[in-house]
Amino acid sequence: MKQSNLIGYPIVIILTAIITFFTLNNCKGPDRPIANKPTEIISFSDALELYQTYTDNRSCVIKAFEGKRDSTLIKLCPSNRKANEKFKPSRSFFLSKKFLDQYMAYVKSITPDSVDITGYRMYLGNYPDKEKFENGKPIPDPRRNTFFMAPTTITGSESIHRGFTFVDKNKDGTPELVFLENELADPKNPIRGMNRSKINTASFFSFANIFQEELSTIANDLGSHP
């Protein structure tokens, strides 16, 4: 009888362990489905090469330009900035998920149905070497590179995704769609003579009454890091 128990107990223990194993596995939720990978995804090694190529061919040039001013540099790129040998070029920018979600929701809410948002375009920029913009807004990182972004759309038979924003140029409550590409080429005249497109006034009826200030879709103040 004792010999039977000695044989039976291990069998019971093994069966209990097997049942517990399968029970726990069955309690787990289904595996998270993997979304289709965008074709724009690159490998880690490719990213390293891109970063190093920028270091060798761009970052060093920016550092040299900001760090010293000689006759050659002044001739190639006239600037009234004073040299700063401790300057470190920006190498990355941070966009929080909260900002991206809020930004896309905001752009969608102020863009009429007659304008098809096809994507978002990034524009390279550089912060002026001063503390504030002309409107009094503080400049977060003087002299550093940055970028600003705007939603894009395609008009007519064009195939170019052009960035756009809205400006109530005449102060009459009727916003006008302005294409950034048409204006950025003329930095001395960013507002006057805009190449703009009148929006369907009917689709903007409630929209124009809610928003009285400039209806900008352009985002900046993004975290930059050397």
How many domains does the chain divide into? 2
Considering the domain architecture, whether residues 115 and 216 belong to the same structural domain is answered as: yes
Q: Using alpha carbons only, what angle is made at residue 69 by residues 65 and 73, rounded to the nearest 5 degrees?
A: 65
Q: Which domain holds residue 158?
A: 90-225
Q: Which two tokens stand for residue 184?
A: 């950025």
Q: 14 lies in a domain?
A: no
What proportion of the chain, given as a percentage, has pLDDT over 70? 71
Considering the domain architecture, whether residues 129 and 220 belong to the same structural domain is answered as: yes
- Does residue 14 or residue 77 have the better pLDDT? 77
Q: Which two tokens stand for residue 207?
A: 């929209």
Considering the domain architecture, whether residues 50 and 116 belong to the same structural domain is answered as: no
Where on the phi/psi map is residue 148: left (φ > 0), alpha (ψ -120 to 50), or beta?
A: beta
Residue 174: per-residue pLDDT: 78
Q: 125 lies in a domain?
A: yes
Residue 194: per-residue pLDDT: 45
Which residue, 71, 66, 64, is CA-closest to 81? 66
Residue 29: per-residue pLDDT: 60
Q: 11 lies in a domain?
A: no
- H/E element, 14: helix 2-27
Contact, 146 vs 90, CB < 8 A? Answer: yes
Name the domain boundary from 72, 87, 102.
87
Residue 189: per-residue pLDDT: 52
Considering the domain architecture, whether residues 96 and 187 belong to the same structural domain is answered as: yes
Identify the band that residue 88 occupies on the pLDDT scale cut at 50, 70 and 90. confident
Round to whole Å and give the CA distance between 147 and 124.
4
List beta partners, residue 150.
121
Question: What are 177-183's contacts with CB under 8 Å, separation 24+?
Answer: 177/115, 180/121, 180/123, 180/150, 180/218
- DSSP strand E in 104-225: where? 119-126, 145-153, 162-167, 176-179, 196-198, 223-225
Considering the domain architecture, whether residues 153 and 54 belong to the same structural domain is answered as: no
Residue 192: per-residue pLDDT: 44
* Digit-coded pLDDT (tens) for 94-104: 889 999 999 99
Q: 207 lies in a domain?
A: yes
Q: What is the mean pLDDT of residues 64-84?
A: 82
- Does residue 114 or residue 222 have the better pLDDT? 114
Res. 176: pLDDT tops 60: yes
Considering the domain architecture, whether residues 166 and 68 belong to the same structural domain is answered as: no
* Digit-coded pLDDT (tens) for 11-68: 656 656 666 666 656 655 667 777 888 888 888 999 899 889 989 998 888 888 888 8
Average pLDDT score, the chain? 76
Residue 223: per-residue pLDDT: 58
Res. 206: pLDDT tops 60: no
Identify the band that residue 78 occupies on the pLDDT scale cut at 50, 70 and 90. confident
Q: 28 lies in a domain?
A: no
Q: 35 lies in a domain?
A: no
Name the domain boundary from 52, 70, 87.
87
Q: 26 lies in a domain?
A: no
Q: 53 lies in a domain?
A: yes
Q: What is the mean pLDDT of residues 114-138?
A: 90
Res. 107: pLDDT tops 90: yes
Identify the band that residue 207 occupies on the pLDDT scale cut at 50, 70 and 90. very low
Q: Give the ranges where 28-160 is alpha helix by DSSP (H).
A: 44-54, 60-67, 71-76, 97-110
Per DSSP, the three-state class of 70 is coil
Half-sphere exposure of 149 (CA within 13 A, CB side): 15
Round to whole Å and give the CA distance between 100 and 96.
6
> Which residue in this structure is represented by tokens 């920018």?
93
Considering the domain architecture, whether residues 173 and 67 belong to the same structural domain is answered as: no
Considering the domain architecture, whether residues 83 and 119 belong to the same structural domain is answered as: no
